[in-house]
Amino acid sequence: MRLNSPQINLITRACLKASRSLIRDFGEIENLQVLSKGPGDFVTSADKRTEKILIEELQKAHPEYGIITEETGIINKSNTKNRWIIDPIDGTMNFLNSVPQFAISIGYEEDGEIKCGVIFNPIMNEMFCAEKGNGAYLNNSRIRVSNKKKIKDALLVTGGPKGASKIKDKIFSEYINVSKNVSNVRKFGSAALDIAYVACGRFDGYWQRELNYWDIAAGIVILKEAGGFVDFFEEDNSTPLKKNILATNPNIHEDLRDLINKKD
């Protein structure tokens, strides 16, 4: 790992420790306790156990820092200057179905800006990391976004609507419009890895509505440090932890934004 800041080292150690039990759980999915959180949304004992390990490791170094997590919620709410943003398993449905497309995602936020982050797929042993001003890396190799110049040639990725979404028709209509104007669109099931894959050039762009902040916090700095652009569109100030994101290489950013904003 070429990045060596205290925050990156701490996040990396936490991810590696939490991943040990996660890898074991992945091999024994049929034995997991699964509780329904709502249509198409599940929480497993693995989620909770992974999150507990991550929180414990991060709090050993900085017990005073704020933490935003998917399962536990907000810890040390009064500290908004220094915060960890944690998603213990981004891509839970994939995990539950033995699909190795999921990741631990941790971002470090300071004064409202993500300063560094790590996205780790423990099954593939791929660790994406970045810190502001020092570049983005996949394991020990520097990564950059693709150089695809024309939106019609672009390979994009998205997530589609969640089961409980109230704007499914809008999202499907948007998907149809975009897909008619690009080379192809994929749906892989992990927002964190989708952004990481744009950062390393596997995809040319990504967009999705109704995400949670913890899904994408680490990916924001990783993509930016890899030379990509990030926009949040149609934001609702009453729900600051909900995000609609557009993340691409710099060449197709405006064109994809235009396609998303295009009205039928």
- pTM attached to this predicted model: 0.94
Give domain 151-261's CATH number out of 3.40.190.80, 3.40.50.2300, 3.40.50.300, 3.30.565.60.
3.40.190.80
**Long-range contacts, stretch 224-228, CB < 8 angstroms, 24+ apart:** 224/130, 224/132, 225/130, 225/131, 225/132, 225/133, 225/134, 225/135, 225/136, 225/199, 226/130, 226/135, 226/136, 226/143, 226/144, 226/145, 226/199, 226/200, 227/144, 227/145, 228/145, 228/198, 228/199
pLDDT number for residue 70: 87
Q: Identity (one letter) of the amino acid at 172?
A: F
Q: How far from chain centre, in Å, is Cα 6?
A: 22
40: pLDDT strictly greater than 70: no
Instruction: For residue range 129-171, list pLDDT tens digits in order.
Output: 999 999 999 998 999 999 999 999 999 999 988 888 899 999 9
Instruction: For residue range 77-107, list pLDDT tens digits in order.
Output: 999 999 999 999 999 999 988 899 999 999 9
pLDDT number for residue 71: 87
Structural domain boundaries in the chain: 6-142, 151-261
Give domain 6-142's CATH number out of 3.40.50.620, 3.40.50.720, 3.30.540.10, 3.30.70.2860.
3.30.540.10
